[in-house]
């Protein structure tokens, strides 16, 4: 059976691993195999419940409740703990656009479990084709974006904007790909256009060290504690497209500072 995590774990070019990345040993490979198994079992258990309840409560809060349970089963089963520092203290009565860095596939679980606010993911279109997981995400507050199709990408961003204006927060990975290292990559403009169009605050979120505990390219993993920081919101009300470069630079600097703090 194809694992629901297969596209999340899709092969990408492997650079020389960092010194503090998981080494390739029999124990880290065994831990990775256990992670895949836990992902399969958790998805098969939680996804039908998420889809069923979404029919009656099609909200970001309902999706977050089940996503947290899904991620919690995998994290705890694999010996991963999350330490979250919330510097934002956000209102639950306002929508936000969360932007997070992306070091490895573990980030999805960390955010689903530990980000203490309801949201839907804006995810890559490849995830829509994942057995069971894609089905559950289609019946949730999450959206898919196809970066290879400009027209569909624009439609997805417009739909995300409408979702935000209805009062539902969303989360995006503005780097566009996983870095497998602590440094922040260049940010793509889609998330920032969305924030300007919707007029909602951007909340920077950084995961400092997930790359130390999972590398799906090399099929290695090990237990440990992942550290996440939620930064203070950056207002976007009244901004125009001409403000896009300055906004992107400001968010990049904030995220870089949170990583280095």
Per residue in 188-234, pLDDT tens? 998 898 899 889 999 999 999 999 999 999 999 999 999 999 999 99
High-pLDDT (> 90) share of the chain, %: 61
Q: Any idea what the Cα angle at residue 247 is, between residues 244 and 253, rounded to 5°? A: 140
Query: Where does the pLDDT of residue 141 fall: very low under 50, low under 70, confident under 90, or very high at 90 and above?
Result: low
Give the residue extent of every domain in the chain. Answer: 26-260
Of 14-28, 158-172, 189-203, where does mean pLDDT reach its minimum?
Answer: 158-172
Of 9-18, 47-56, 157-166, where does mean pLDDT reach its minimum?
Answer: 9-18
26-260 in CATH: which number?
A: 3.40.1130
Q: How many CA atoms lie within 13 A of 96 on its CB side?
A: 26
Look at 18 and 45; give whichever has higher pLDDT.
Answer: 45
Neighbours of 245 (CB within 10 A): 11
Which whole number is the average pLDDT over 62-78?
94
pLDDT at residue number 1: 35
pLDDT at residue number 113: 97
pTM value? 0.87
Look at 139 and 201; give whichever has higher pLDDT.
Answer: 201
Please determine, for residue 131, whether its predicted confidence score (pLDDT) is greater than 80.
no
Which whole number is the average pLDDT over 134-150?
69
At residue 120, φ and ψ (nearest 5 deg) are: -115, 145
Which whole number is the average pLDDT over 76-100?
94
Q: Indicate the average pLDDT of the chain.
A: 87
Going by their DSSP bridges, the two strands 202-207 and 224-230 should be labelled as antiparallel
Look at 66 and 168; give whichever has higher pLDDT.
Answer: 66
pLDDT at residue number 166: 80
Which whole number is the average pLDDT over 4-30?
74
Tokens of 210: 């997930």
Smallest CA-to-CA distance from 180 within 151, 204, 155, 209 is with 209
Please determine, for residue 122, whether its predicted confidence score (pLDDT) is greater than 90.
no
Which runs of E-coded beta strand occur in 96-223?
Answer: 97-100, 120-124, 143-145, 170-172, 202-207, 214-215, 220-221
Query: Where does the pLDDT of residue 9 fall: very low under 50, low under 70, confident under 90, or very high at 90 and above?
Result: low
pLDDT at residue number 2: 38
Please determine, for residue 27, whether its predicted confidence score (pLDDT) is greater than 90.
yes
């Amino acid at each position: 059976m194809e694992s629901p995590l297969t596209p999340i774990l899709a092969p990408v070019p492997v650079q020389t691993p960092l010194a503090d990345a998981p080494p390739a040993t029999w124990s880290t490979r065994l831990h990775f195999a256990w992670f895949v198994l836990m992902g399969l079992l958790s998805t098969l258990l939680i996804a039908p419940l998420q889809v069923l309840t979404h029919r009656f409560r099609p909200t970001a809060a309902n999706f977050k409740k089940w996503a947290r349970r899904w991620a919690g089963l995998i994290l705890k089963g694999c010996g991963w703990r999350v330490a979250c520092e919330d510097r934002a203290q956000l209102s639950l009565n306002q929508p936000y656009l969360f932007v997070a860095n992306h070091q490895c596939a573990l980030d999805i679980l960390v955010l689903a479990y530990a980000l203490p606010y309801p949201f839907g993911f804006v995810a890559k279109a490849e995830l829509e084709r994942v057995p069971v997981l894609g089905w559950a995400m289609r019946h949730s507050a999450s959206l898919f974006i196809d970066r290879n199709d400009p027209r569909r990408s624009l439609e997805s961003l417009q739909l995300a904007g409408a979702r935000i204006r209805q009062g539902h927060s969303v989360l995006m990975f503005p780097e566009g790909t996983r870095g497998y290292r602590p440094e922040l990559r260049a940010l793509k403009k889609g998330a920032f256009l969305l924030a300007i169009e919707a007029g909602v605050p951007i909340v920077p979120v950084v995961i400092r060290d997930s790359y130390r505990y999972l590398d799906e390219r090399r099929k290695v993993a090990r237990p440990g504690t992942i550290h996440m920081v939620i930064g203070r919101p950056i207002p976007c009300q009244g901004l125009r497209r001409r403000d896009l470069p300055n906004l992107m630079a400001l968010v990049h600097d904030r995220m870089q500072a949170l990583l280095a703090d």
